Structure 1
Amino acid sequence: MSTVLRSLCGYFILLCLGLLLLLSPGQAYEELSDETLKLLPRPSHDFDIHDGAILSPLLQTRVPGTAGHDAVLEHLVSFIRTTLPKWDIELQNSTSKTPLSNGKDVPFVNVIATRDPPRASVGDVELLTLVAHYDSKLTPEGFIGAIDSAAPCAMIMHAMRSIDAALDKKWAAMEKGMGSTFDEEVGIQVLFLDGEEAFDHWTDEDSLYGARSLAETWDSQMNPAMSTFKTKLSSISLFVLLDLLGSKNPSIVSFYQTTHWAYQRLGSLERRLRSLNKFKAPSDPWFIDTSKDFRQIVPMGGIQDDHIPFLARGVEIVHVIDFAPFKGFPEVWHTMDDDGEHLDMDTVEDWSVLVTAFAAEWMELGDFLAQSESGKARRDEVFEADLDKKTEL
């Protein structure tokens, strides 16, 4: 093939990719107004590291197969069942031998929470999927893993609760013939994945236990014959993975050309929230590649994380992880300093507002976020009262 022909082919491919990006779902939904962004709640005392209803129960060692892990699993399930009763919850179980389990199977449990539009048929809903892992490393002994990834789990929990009433209002309006129609079946899904950490040292086999199991299962789990989406895996419209978040001055790079538009939406929301004084932590912009064109994004395959088994099966990924070239990971990464006391709480709360904003914008909740504060307060009271009870999974 001649050099000229190669150049023409390359240009054609880039042109097609650009057209696909212009037609992507991210260009269809409407931006949240400044007034709506101002309404987004902060976590407040829920994120207190000592007795906050959401975050504090996560700040303990939670190695799969241990009592701490079971307690955190119970906390996640209890939060969803008590505070978010309209979300469907599923536990996906698997077992695997690890390099340190002496031939015994270690149990892993993925927590899956989903809200579909009412009357939606199985296999016809595309799902925004927010993801974090909830297990912690075996070593060093007593490792908490606050940024890795207790705080990201808490951020997602806050976002779930913050948009729940607005989802009710939107779908009630749709059923009455107001606003959008059910022709666009869009739901939201949360994955709290287990077994991300290696037990000995990171290999393809000693890591991502829960993610590998779930991706494989969903890739082969078929929806009904006439469904819009062939498998549960293909119904994921965007897989947004949060990891290593909660330290000061994070740097988030864009890893994938085909989802750079979604990365830019996050960067735009960050900028707008700062301009509206909705962020507390002073910082340079977090999303450092926002101004780049998608053609300038160089794919980086070196960061292994829970998205890898899904990426390998064609799922669109936004990897929100505190990492940048020449900077690396946060200083506390995989050290005993990765605990509650070393979280920058203003940054943690800012992240929770940003995740809420992104989910609300994706789900087109701008007209429905002015929810009843009394109703929200009642749900919070029920959950906090339930913390002292033993809840069976």
Structure 2
Amino acid sequence: MLLFGGLSLVSLFSAACSAYTPLSDETLQKLPSSGTDFDIKTGAILAPILRTRVSGTPGNAAVLQHFVDFFKKELPEWRLEFHNSTSTTPLSNGLEVPFRNLIATRDPPGTRPGDVGRLAMVAHYDSKISPEGFIGAIDSAAPCAMLLHAARSIDKALTKKWEATADSLELDEQQGVQILLLDGEEAFLSWTDEDSLYGARALAADWEFTYHPAMSTFRTPLDSIDLFVLLDLLGSASPAIPSYFKTTHWAYKHMAEVEKRLRGLGMFKSSPNHPANVAKRENKKPRAEPQFLPESDKPADRFYGGGIGDDHVPFMARGVEILHIIPSPFPKVWHEIEDDGEHLDMNTVEDWARLVTAFMAEWMDLEGHFDFPRTEQKQKREINFEEKTEFAIP
């Protein structure tokens, strides 16, 4: 991505999902953690992404295969599609470099693609060609891992919801979700309109003129996107994410509210007031609580249309509503060799994974559809109750 000024490509209309139901405190507390899946050496989700993965190289292909294997094994109900394109680059000596986007979609059963509005959760998976050996942990291995974790975390709840509402789902309630893992975001030589966003530019251009069948609710796949949420540069400590666009400030506020609730419930490991962090210091008094998303109350006259070149730009230029989750200022390791697994703040990474999962669950109206494992203590209480009840019955 590139920071620049004066970007004026802003959508004119605000999308709204058909339902946005806050999760209960109990559900927020029981959302699955990433656990060992985010271990930088052995984690089943994150570790395979922490490698060089320049577009068109074997490393890039290996990471794409990791994504495919994850969905086939863990999320077989998701429909996988590849979007392939080629382009020359300033370093390819006239040769065409392949760019491969992966699109994973989960729609309500029995629906037609043209009748389903979708939440699109997006990150790029390629890495920068220089400096040599660049890993790109925040940019954007960790965001990709967050999306895989979140998709798995809500998958069974989606199934349960759609089974429960199969006979009552109205046309305007047909909401699906997509994970877009985009290739070719990074510039090969220096950031220009032609040397950047290769995969995003190709996908947005193709989707603009890919038409759904006549009489569909949505004309094209672009029209089907209710909100395009782009995650980038996430995983360093103490991020601050502005609200970039006035037309999606309502969605930013929803995510910020979830963050506040998670912090209040003691679920954010990076919080200075998390019990584990309080226990480590002598002064146990509560400290000021930072916020990843601090601009919930941003005045209406303070929106300037953004200023960061990233994968959202080709979509925004075509009228798609964007929620850009990227810190400002950028983390210090941005485009430096230090942007590797060892420089991730793992508490922050896990907090983002939980927050993204909660946001997706609320957007998809999944409250009441999660089946969480009962704790051993709760199971014991229920067994004791059943035993006492059984003996009490004549």
Unpaired segments of 5 or more residues in structure 2? Answer: 1-11, 272-288, 376-394
Q: Which amino acid aligns with 1:316?
A: E
Distance 1:334 1:153 in 2: 17
Contact preservation (8 Å) 1:174, 1:181:
no
User: Equivalents in 2 of 1:371, 1:122: separation in Å?
Assistant: 31
Measure the CA separation in 1 of the matches of 2:372 and 2:171: 22
Matched ranges for 1:142-221 at <5 A: 142-175=133-166, 177=168, 181=170, 183-221=172-210
Query: In the alignment, which residue of structure 1 is the partner of 2:89?
Result: 98
Q: Counterpart amino acid of 1:237?
A: D
Q: Is the 8 A contact 1:64 1:106 kept in 2?
A: yes
Which residue does the alignment assign to 1:109?
100
1:366 aligned residue: 367
Deviation sequence 1:162-187 (CA, Å, 0-9, x none): 0000001000101255xx54541100
Separation in 2, partners of 1:372, 1:103: 56
Name 2:122's counterpart in structure 1.
131
Name 2:6's counterpart in structure 1. none
Which whole-Å CA distance do the structure 2 matches of 1:371 and 1:215 have between them? 38
Distance 1:26 1:164 in 2: 19
Distance 1:373 1:190, change over 3 A: farther
The alignment yields a C-alpha RMSD, in angstroms, of 1.6
User: If the length of structure 2 is used for normalisation, what is the TM-score?
Assistant: 0.85
Find the residue that maps to 1:348 and give its secondary structure. helix
Residues 1-393 of structure 1: pairs in structure 2 closer than 5 A: 25=16, 28-175=19-166, 177=168, 181=170, 183-282=172-271, 284-293=290-299, 295-323=300-328, 328-371=329-372
Deviation string 1:274-322 (CA, Å, 9 cap, x unpaired) is 00111100261111211224x1341244210000000000000000001
The separation in 2 between residues aligned to 1:163 and 1:302, in whole angstroms, is 32
28-37 or 348-357, larger mean C-alpha shift? 28-37
Distance 1:86 1:27, change over 3 A: closer
**1:26/1:261 contact within 8 Å kept:** no
- Name the amino acid aligned to 1:144: I
Extract unaligned runs of 5+ from structure 1: 1-16, 375-393
- The question of whether the paired residues in 2 share the 8 Å contact of 1:26 and 1:262 is answered with no
**Under a length normalisation based on structure 1, what TM-score does the superposition of the two structures give?**
0.86
Percent identical among aligned pairs is 59
The amino acid that maps onto 2:147 is I
Q: 1:68 to 1:225 in 2, by over 3 A?
A: same
Paired residues of 2:119 and 2:226 also in contact (CA < 8 A): yes
CA distance 1:105–1:203, change in 2 (3 Å): same
Counterpart CA distance in 1 for 2:342 and 2:290 is: 23
- The one-letter amino acid paired with 1:133 is H
Give the greater-gyration-radius structure (CA).
Answer: 2
* Amino acid corresponding to residue 218 of structure 2 in structure 1: F
Instruction: Indicate conservation of the 8 Å contact 1:256/1:298, yes or no.
Output: yes
Aligned to 1:386: none
Structure 1 CA distance, aligned partners of 2:155 and 2:42? 24
- Give the residue type in structure 1 aligned to 2:320: V
SS class of match (2:105)? strand
Instruction: Give distance in 2, aligned partners of 1:51 and 1:28.
Output: 38
Q: 1:362 to 1:205 in 2, by over 3 A?
A: same
Q: Is the 8 A contact 1:166 1:371 kept in 2?
A: no
For residues 233-281 of structure 1, what are the alpha-carbon distances to aligned partners after superposition, in whole Å with 9 as ceiling and x for unaligned?
1100000000000000000001111100000111100000000111100
SS of the aligned residue for 1:123 comes to helix
SS at match of 1:25: coil
Measure the CA separation in 1 of the matches of 2:218 and 2:170: 19
Q: 2 CA distance for matches of 1:66 and 1:138?
A: 10
User: Shift in Å at residue 35 of structure 1?
Assistant: 1.3
Matching residue's letter, 1:318 = L
CA-CA distance at 1:122 after TM superposition: 2.5
In the alignment, the residues of structure 2 paired with residue 169 and residue 31 of structure 1 have an alpha-carbon distance, to the nearest angstrom, of: 18
